[in-house]
Amino acid sequence: MTDPKPESVNQNDVEPSPQSDPPPGTAGGASPDPADAIQDAAAQVDRLAEEAGAAAAHPVDLPDFSGAEAGEDVSNIGLLGDVDLDVRIELGRTRMLVDDVLRLSPESVVELDKAAGDPVDIYVNGRHVARGEVLVLNENFCVRVSEIVGRMPETDAG
């Protein structure tokens, strides 16, 4: 076997490689001024931001999320029947200094802000929902609900 003879290349057969255009802000390939390049880039960012803002600003039609109308049957509420909720009964509150807390012992008495017989507060998942009175039933404490607290505005809840 003989090696094939390399073909000669005629200069007229070769296409010249396309010259890329000089970057914007350059004159015939000269390096751009950094200050001009930054200014051009900032102007382009501002222009694109305006275009994006103008395209994104339009009203949205949303479906009615008001829920069930008064008197309307809400049959799916039963789906929530087995959801666990954190229920807490608050007998009262007090403020103590760290030093006072450190001195607590088994015989210490902590005074609360409510008197005996005052209603206790009932919280569900951290939200105050009712008040009631403390009872003893079969040697266990329990609470009889005496008042349902009205719904507070969301800004006041906490």
Whether residue 65 lies inside any domain: the answer is no
Domain membership flag for residue 117: yes
Give the count of beta carbons closer than 10 Å to the beta carbon of residue 120.
17
Whether 137 is covered by a domain: the verdict is: yes
CATH of the domain at 120: 2.30.330.10
75 located within any domain: no
Within-domain flag for 103: yes
pLDDT at 157: 47
Range of the domain at 99: 84-148
Structural domain count of the chain: 1
pTM > 0.85: yes or no: no
What residues contact 17, with CB distance under 8 A and at least 6 apart? Answer: none
The reported pLDDT for the residue numbered 143 is 94
Q: Are 90 and 99 in contact (CB under 8 A)?
A: no
Q: What are the 10-residue block averages of pLDDT along the chain, 158 residues in total? A: 55 52 52 77 81 65 69 74 93 95 96 92 95 92 92 55
With respect to residue 153, please indicate whether it lies within any of the assigned structural domains: no
Residue 124 included in any domain: yes
Residue type, position 34, single letter: P
- The string of DSSP codes covering 126-157 is TEEEEEEEEEEETTEEEEEEEEEPPPPPTTT-
- 44, part of any domain: no
